[in-house]
Structure 1
Amino acid sequence: MRTPQQPTDKPEPWAADGHLDELDEEYVEEATARSTTLGISLLVTVALLVGIVFIPAPYVVRSPGPTEDTLGEEGGVPLIEVSGAQRYPASGELRLTTVSVSGGPGYPADALQVLGGWIDPKRSVYPVEAIFPEDQTAEEVEEQNTADMVSSQENATVAALTEVGYTVPATMTVVDAIPGTGADGVLEPDDVLVSFEGTELETYQELIEGIEGTEAGTEVVLGVERDGEPLDVTVPTTDVDGRTILGVYLDPVFDMPVDVSIQIDDIGGPSAGTMFALGIIDVLTPEDEAGGKVIAGTGTMSVDGLVGPIGGIQQKLYGAQRDGATWFLAPETNCDEVVGNVPDGLQVTAVGTLEQALDAVTAIGSGTTEDLPTCADALEDLQS
């Protein structure tokens, strides 16, 4: 008999002549059958696990995305270029922040990504319908993101130029009246607004200021051009959530006194508006607002300088920290998501307007940050 190479409590299957005897042949057949069954079961289990892992899941996973310095360069070209005005050197960084999204139309997340999102505190998981409208296609998402980015850049440019003292003329054309408001049936598509209460309208800000200074429900006289002819119309203003509105959708076309172009690829959406505006101001003014500091932030920007809410702010906080920011500018309206979720090493100040954001950058750049409002301060003010 051969000596077994491994210890065993089974009889040696080989006879002296090298042939299996009857008893050993039955044992080998049973062992082979068991091994085959176990192997098949293991393969099936692995295949099922792999299949489950890569099955599309009805969730969206948000992760910290890349950040971009609006004072830096993109492919060797300044991200913000200006012509028609002097450009001043700027130190420091003003970083716009982004969110990377897995899941949604055309790009479904799998179970492994969703599981990672639930485990990792830097990520967030949401049902698809909480982020994307039902039946929206990947092409429609991309088109919307591109349109939002273009609008964001234009709004930021108008707000920034106005903040540094430029007049930005605008032609304001009515797209449509909002049903149920005082403008419905009074203002018509293609009407061009030329005056408010007898005062000529040169800028969009003048119209906004006129409306905000009017008590809701009050009638105002608008001068319009309709089919090329001047016409005065009386429009009752409307109250919406405590705000006075005119009740029309407008398509303003701006005559920029300074040509500003923003070179950035593969980033969409409206949330970079505040950081674009701050970057434009920094390069157009002799003051070195950022003062060598790395400052990140987010927020939409309206043409009249209001900072608006955005999505994914917790992921943006982590992205900012990862890329070296020590301060973060957060919209006041996102502060409830900020408190308790700020990564170590990052300080956050709340801003509601472009003027406040600029003051914050200047304070951070000069090292005088004692009086900057925190998100906790902003929430307390909202509750009082």
Structure 2
Amino acid sequence: MSQRSRRRTIGWTSLIAALALALGMSFIPSSYVIEQPGPVFNTLGTSDHDGSAVPLISISGAETYPTSGALDMLTVSVVGTPDSRPSWAEIVGAWFDSSRAVVPLEAIYPPSVTVDQQNEQNAAQMVDSQQEAIAAALTDLKIPFTSSQKVGVAQLATDSAAAGILEAGDIVESVNGTAVSTVDELKAAITANGDAAPASLVISRSGTEQTVQVTPKKAADGAILLGIGAAPSNTYEFPFTVDIQLDNVGGPSAGMMFALGIIDQLTPGELNGGDKVAGTGTITADGTVGPIGGIRQKLYGAEQSGATVFLAPASNCDEVVGHVPDGLKVFAVQTLSDSLAVLSDLSSGASTDSLPTCDTVQAAS
């Protein structure tokens, strides 16, 4: 065999080996997950609940009015879990797709939290966001209601003393007969109980009270712990019933769109002028709109669903500018009132040129 033939043979062999190695590696699980646009839900429409189509927002005990068009809330789907990670081939494909994002696995699934605990936490955040949305809508409409502060279970540690007893979203009403309304009061009551005997906790779960027994554990530093992440939780009593039915969706980012959907039903006319509007953002009872995750994927979800207007938290604008799909105009909002101002101009046909967009917000910062 000539020297040229040997070189050609070695070259082809090396190329085939490299391709085989690349092909083999493409099927190796990565250490990343993929975020992509998830389902879009019209807060003025219906959702699937136990196999039946039901109103996403239904109000009883108050006068309501017809609506039309859409006030869409957006979601983000995550491809991959700690037990089923995307391959490197999938990661490379997502890297070159502007509608998807490659994210480190631990950013979505912290090692200290199980997938089940993460799902419980997301479900609890969704419940809280719905209550805050109702409160924000009624505050804007000047409809009185009552509120009080409680202590909620935000999450449980993997080795929690309360594992299998408490759940994310539970409200702790009392410990050993003593009412608690702040995180500090809960800590003091658990410390007083010690780790030698169970503490008797009265909790509220999905509006139903029950009594449970939890034996706290002593940490290395001597602290007496339930093993929960406790956080202040506002509870409300509203003058009528607002029922939000949305299965298998978690997190707090739909709050603002829930509030707009509630206001639209409780007021005459069409808040959006019958158009298709999308948006995202957390909400608090005073109407403050907060930042959310996955904003770029939600922009593409809105564009794919046919929306031309998007309401985005102003605090997310640094992630928005330069990543807006063609045909979508993004308005920057800081409060529920800002969102209503955009919708008012859209429904009346007035010019929206003076309203802040993410481009103008970023240019001014």
Q: 2 CA distance for matches of 1:48 and 1:140?
A: 38
Unmatched segments (≥5 aa) in structure 1: 1-37, 177-187, 194-247
- AA partner of residue 128 (structure 1): L
Match of 1:71?
44
1:89 Cα deviation (Å)?
0.4
Tell me the matched-pair count.
279
Match of 2:359?
376
Unmatched segments (≥5 aa) in structure 2: 1-11, 154-174, 183-229
- AA partner of residue 38 (structure 2): G
Bigger drift between 45-54 and 119-128 goes to: 45-54
1:90 to 2:67 alignment: yes
- AA partner of residue 379 (structure 1): Q
Match of 1:125?
102
1:175 Cα deviation (Å)?
7.3
- Identity of paired residues, percent? 48
1:252 Cα deviation (Å)?
2.6
Q: Is contact 1:59-1:104 (8 Å) kept?
A: no
- AA partner of residue 355 (structure 2): L
TM-score by length of 2: 0.70
1:359 Cα deviation (Å)?
1.5
- Matches for 1:1-384 after TM superposition, within 5 Å: 51-75=24-48, 76-173=53-150, 190=179, 250-368=232-350, 369-381=352-364, 383=365
- AA partner of residue 317 (structure 1): L
Q: Which is higher, the Rg of structure 1 or of structure 2?
A: 1
- TM-aligned CA distance change 1:264 to 1:173, over 3 Å: closer
Q: 1 CA distance for matches of 2:83 and 2:346?
A: 42
- AA partner of residue 55 (structure 1): I
1:111 Cα deviation (Å)?
1.2
TM-score by length of 1: 0.67
**Local SS of the residue matching 2:277:** strand
Bigger drift between 358-367 and 141-150 goes to: 358-367
Q: 1 CA distance for matches of 2:69 and 2:265?
A: 12
**Local SS of the residue matching 1:56:** coil
- AA partner of residue 92 (structure 1): G
1:50 Cα deviation (Å)?
5.6
Q: 2 CA distance for matches of 1:175 and 1:344?
A: 42
Q: 2 CA distance for matches of 1:327 and 1:175?
A: 36
**Local SS of the residue matching 2:75:** strand
Q: 1 CA distance for matches of 2:231 and 2:247?
A: 29
Q: Is contact 2:38-2:77 (8 Å) kept?
A: yes
Q: 1 CA distance for matches of 2:284 and 2:181?
A: 21
- AA partner of residue 314 (structure 2): E
1:262 Cα deviation (Å)?
0.7
Q: Is contact 2:66-2:269 (8 Å) kept?
A: no
Q: 2 CA distance for matches of 1:173 and 1:80?
A: 26
Q: 1 CA distance for matches of 2:248 and 2:79?
A: 15
Deviations 1:298-351 (A, max 9, x none): 001112211100111111101100000010000000000111111100001000
1:46 Cα deviation (Å)?
8.6
